[in-house]
Structure 1
Amino acid sequence: MATSDPVYLRVVEDIRRQINDGTLPPGAPIPSRAQLTRKYQVGETAARHALRVLASEGLIVGRVGSGHYVRERPILAPLHRWRFLDHPAPLAADLQSQGRRVTWDWHSEPAEAGPDIARRLRVDETATLTRTHYIFRSDGKPLQLVTSYESLEFAAHTEEERRSLVARMYAHGIKITEIVESVHTRVPRPAEIDALQMAAGVHVLHVERTHWAGDRPVETSDIVIPGDRFRIMYSMPV
């Protein structure tokens, strides 16, 4: 390592290597700051910073009064994006088919489109839309956040009306012909970290989904999924 590199990186790289090669398995304790200073011949500030970096990378977790431990590596559950499209909550239906019980809460409110949603729905930036927030849970643990935007005339206002969007649009004489999704990863926002109870260093999968009726976008959603809990599955018929 170049001599200009910060001292703490020597500690970070060695512990990261031990975690990745299995020398330090999930659940193994990480040396304390005092132990790190002795082992690597670094100052307490460097040892503290190294632990902070490893936690921010999601490699270790701190436990109050107990120290730091190698973070458990979760098994990623598959989310099949093409299944249950006619269900009011495709995520819930998919996970329930895998034997998990899923519940969700939602509330709607009028909201101005703004630049991004106006572009996605091809409406004026000042147009008033129905914005609906969802949070999905399994065994009390939050799984997914969704924010949906659609025209006021199409919105559901009761649980009874909250059938699948495809069926709801069909009731208005609109046939959904295509669902387009764009996926990227990003750092979660503070409110998302709290809502999804995420560990430090974990990114989210952000799915931008739009329902189309021919060449007309009729609904668009932002779906936020913890990147350490799920893998997104797609099917591409040939």
Structure 2
Amino acid sequence: MTFGEQPAYLRVAGDLRKKIVDGQLPPHTRLPSQARIREEYGVSDTVALEARKVLMAEGLVEGRSGSGTYVRERPVPRRVARSGFRPERGATPFRQEQADIGVRGTWESSSEQVDAGASIAQRLGIDPGDRVMRTKYLFREAGEPMMLSTSWEPLALTGRTPVMLPEEGPLGGMGVVERMRAIDVIVDNVTEEVGARP
């Protein structure tokens, strides 16, 4: 097998990943041994070991002490579309979900102005390269990380307004529906794309 410019361990990991995703190596199947990987791909033990480490880091396989490395059962990523309904003024989906199960979650955020890439521009109905406020969130439940989220808001809409920074100012942390209402923008349809990893 010719590996080209990509490091050999990434090529081996990529091929094994494809077999897992395609179902050639279904859940609970033992991953080929290090010796088998070495023989099949014509690589060293180090390359075979590093390829397995990549798959473990991605959550595709798990090591079982004294037994080997096995393909994990994986949850199927799915899209979830929430409605724009909020039972109380200012409730965010995260706050509402936490209230529904009787816990109080927390989050950290950081915002910065960036140029919109093609996919973000298409989603927001703006031109690629237009400035947006990108805010990255880390949500926690009982102190443990439970969700990552990134939001983009067009600065042509929010720039130089009290809601320019989603988590600061008089409406900081109130959620996009409430914040946009403050600048006379009515949000009547909210869709979130949610993915899951093991």
Rounded Cα–Cα distance in structure 2 between residues aligned with 1:175 and 1:120: 17
* Cα-to-partner distance string for 1:5-57 (whole Å, 9 max, x where unaligned): xxxx9xx89x95683xxxx8xxxxx69948xx7xxxx68645986x949x579
| Structure 1: gaps spanning 5 or more residues | 1-8, 25-29, 182-206, 208-223, 229-238
Partner-residue secondary structure (3-state), 1:226: coil
| Structure 2: gaps spanning 5 or more residues | 1-15
Report deviation, 1:122.
3.0
Rounded Cα–Cα distance in structure 2 between residues aligned with 1:44 and 1:127: 49
Q: Residue 196 of structure 2 aligns with which residue?
A: 226
1:1-40 pair list within 5 angstroms: 19=28, 33=33
The root-mean-square deviation of aligned C-alpha atoms, in Å, is 4.8
Task: State whether residues 106 and 141 of structure 2, in contact with CA within 8 Å, keep that contact through their aligned partners in structure 1.
Answer: yes
CA gap 1:131/1:80 in 2 versus in 1, 3 angstroms: closer
Report deviation, 1:167.
1.6
Task: State whether residues 132 and 153 of structure 2, in contact with CA within 8 Å, keep that contact through their aligned partners in structure 1.
Answer: yes
Q: Residue 164 of structure 1 aligns with which residue?
A: 175
Task: State whether residues 84 and 188 of structure 2, in contact with CA within 8 Å, keep that contact through their aligned partners in structure 1.
Answer: no
Report deviation, 1:158.
1.4
- Tell me whether 1:91 sits opposite 2:94 in the alignment: yes
Q: Which one has the bigger strand percentage?
A: 1
Report deviation, 1:164.
2.3
Rounded Cα–Cα distance in structure 2 between residues aligned with 1:89 and 1:180: 13
Aligned residues: 163
Deviation larger for 111-120 or 61-70: 61-70
TM-score (norm 2): 0.54
Identity %: 28
* Cα-to-partner distance string for 1:177-201 (whole Å, 9 max, x where unaligned): 22245xxxxxxxxxxxxxxxxxxxx
Query: Equivalent of 1:141, from 135, 145, 153?
Result: 145
CA gap 1:134/1:84 in 2 versus in 1, 3 angstroms: farther
Amino acid at match of 1:165: V
